[in-house]
Chain A
């Protein structure tokens, strides 16, 4: 999905989620093998796919909900739970593994208190293991909200997380004040 369209649908989703969902599904009307692109677009806009969204997507598209369910459970890309405020993707590609990615993940788990593949209880961090991010010369590598950090060390990442936590907490308290 193009970036502009995605932004539009995202703001629509905040006001009228059901309408946005229908809009997403209808964009694929008549397309052959549309199930995966529909689900990808739903996740792109909503960040994850809930059981309710699956149900609705089935109704709007006419694709059996069972089929949709079998797809979201087969493909690793689909998230069935919302992600935390900061998405951390840790590369576990071969080069990063050789450079010590496991230690990086371990250290991140200590610091964020999020189990690998899951979100921390405070909702601030989601940890995800991914394969080669395409910059092996910088191994080990991670991305936080799509910004890349390379040549990581176990104590270096703790500092990065502490910084990120500070920024996120500040934002959170600002939000609380304004609302």
Chain B
């Protein structure tokens, strides 16, 4: 046996970490540690995305220290002071003994089952996964259970699909198992279409094998020998790690013929999505794998009966699959002890927006919105009041701050007009314009509508036109009612979930923030000061030093004034791009939006 090293170092090298500069820190550490026997490992998303780049130092007794917000230069101090002299660099610590931040509550209020490995194991090393009880669930299924018993175990765990709709996973599996057909397929939906979310990507990047293991167990349960992972082409790192994981699993006999001597065979192929949101919808996704335009089709028949290449197919989300090995390994009872009566287990969220501590979090079902925003997320980053959260992306809804006690589970969210969604959780403060948010999501769905259903195609377009009008100060009194009416028609007249849910962001913002719509329509006033047509940029005379920076930044030469004299913005020429405010070092430029009535008073 080799001697246990005194320290081990891990660098979080998922997309979030690399974007934050972690690769540079990794290289700097590598250089510093050259010639020493201290292992330097790479790992997935550690979860504290707001503190990237992150480096964990683990002492021989298991004591862990997490350093955050690092620059490459900091590696010198970590190596010399902590590794060399045994004295942790307290100023750089974000977690661990001696840390002076309040970040620990970020983790202590979470329950990390799915994310247990992410940020700890090396996702490119199968042994690292196996050492963390990887493939134990598969082993249990293949060596001691029948497919029916596996499905029964999933049933008693209470697992529901994490792709958004929350369909019971065991039902899908048993339908596919019972369907007639020699050839059956497993498909993993890694299309992750919500434009503000990255949970599936992080799981695939940080704990790749867990998804493969889930697919294998599903394949055994329904009697499928082939699996496809349909993954966004925009996720190159996740794709590469999947390729590596598949190759390693094949080398170990965990994929291929006669797996673990059980006679079960299974192979996995990767298909890259080509940038169409609608392909996240299951029937469109299958069309896309078949090499066609991804257009949803009418169900029934459901994929469980007639799916990929006409064969029975069970299609599940990445996170759903990642749950499966945990359930099989720890048992259904342990799993279902977490969560609420109808929603079991945990849910991973990408917590982002105007939040202090944003990142990849995992909570037991039933945790409230307020607990997520304040206890885990540390509150609003701007210091302004908390206004709303948005879940479910373009299919979801906005939840106002005064419903912050709502527990996060499928039924409670549905009751208030929102949905669980796949795991995007956007926090908004007072400076967020809710009409603009609705417009944003509708721009997205209008763009992504495949065009098959008239209501979805032209309806989203017309709703968007109205919303644009409102944000541009052209709103009419009847607009909001028209929006509600059209929303109901689009919901009823669309074939797939895209159209059926596209109006949700509009409906929930109207329901909870009607006053903001009214302010835009009646007073041509944007309370959040976001809508360009309704705001003015003005220079505060007393604060302006006449430094001329803003005048030079202005792309349309709308700012004039002599050097060292207060400047002036020509309101007719100004295009409200914000470059001046952004460049002013003296906070001398303000953004104002004036209710129409008051505005007229001022000018009188």
Contact = CB atoms under 8 A, between A and B. Distances in A.
B589 to A, nearest CB: 13
13 contacts: A36-B291, A71-B293, A74-B276, A74-B294, A75-B293, A77-B233, A94-B196, A95-B196, A95-B352, A136-B353, A138-B20, A150-B20, A155-B582
A84 interface: no
Contact of B274 (A78, A135, A150): A78
Given A2-B243, A94-B196, A94-B440, A139 B272 contact: no
B290 interface: yes
B52 interface: yes
- With most chain B CB atoms within 10 A of its CB, the pick from A40, A131, A137 is A137
Contacts of B352: 94-95, 136-137, 139
A133 B17 CA distance: 12
Contacts of B197: 132
Interface band, chain A: 35 or more
A37 B577 contact: no
A114 to B, nearest CB: 14
Contact of A136 (B274, B350, B583): B350
Interface of B: 14-16, 18-20, 49-50, 52, 194-198, 201-202, 233-235, 240, 243, 271-276, 288-294, 309, 350, 352-354, 358-359, 390, 393, 424, 426, 428, 432, 437, 440, 444, 450, 553, 555, 577-579, 582-583
A32 B432 contact: no
Return the 4 tightest CB-CB contacts between A and B, nearest first: A94-B196, A33-B291, A136-B352, A131-B195
B353 A98 contact: yes
A120 to B, nearest CB: 15
A141 B194 CA distance: 17
A145 interface: no
Contacts of B428: 98
Given A97-B440, A110-B555, A155-B583, A134 B578 contact: no
Given A135-B16, A148-B19, A154-B582, A32 B233 contact: no
A75 B275 CA distance: 6
Nearest to B575: A106
Contacts of B19: 133-135, 138, 141, 148, 150
A26 B219 CA distance: 30
Given A71-B293, A93-B195, A98-B432, A134 B274 contact: no
Nearest to B441: A94
Contacts, number: 146
Contact of B276 (A76, A97, A135): A76
A136 to B, nearest CB: 3
Contacts of B290: 32-33
Interface in A23-69: 32-37, 39-40, 67
A146 B198 CA distance: 17
B583 A74 contact: no
Contacts of B577: 103, 106-107, 110, 154
- With most chain B CB atoms within 10 A of its CB, the pick from A70, A100, A154 is A154
Given A40-B233, A70-B293, A74-B294, A133 B15 contact: yes
Contact of A98 (B243, B273, B354, B583): B354
A164 interface: no
A78 B293 CA distance: 13
Contact of B196 (A2, A75, A93): A93
Contacts of A35: 291-292
Contacts of A106: 577
A92 B195 contact: yes
B567 to A, nearest CB: 16
B274 A76 contact: yes
B140 to A, nearest CB: 33
- With most chain A CB atoms within 10 A of its CB, the pick from B353, B354, B437 is B353
Contacts of B437: 98
Interface in A71-97: 71, 74-78, 92-95, 97
Nearest to A130: B234
B52 A137 contact: yes
Contacts of A136: 49, 196, 198, 350, 352-353, 358
B419 to A, nearest CB: 15
B275 A77 contact: yes
A153 B233 contact: no
A137 to B, nearest CB: 4
Contacts of B275: 75-78
B195 A94 contact: yes
A106 B20 CA distance: 24
Nearest to A110: B555
Contacts of B288: 36
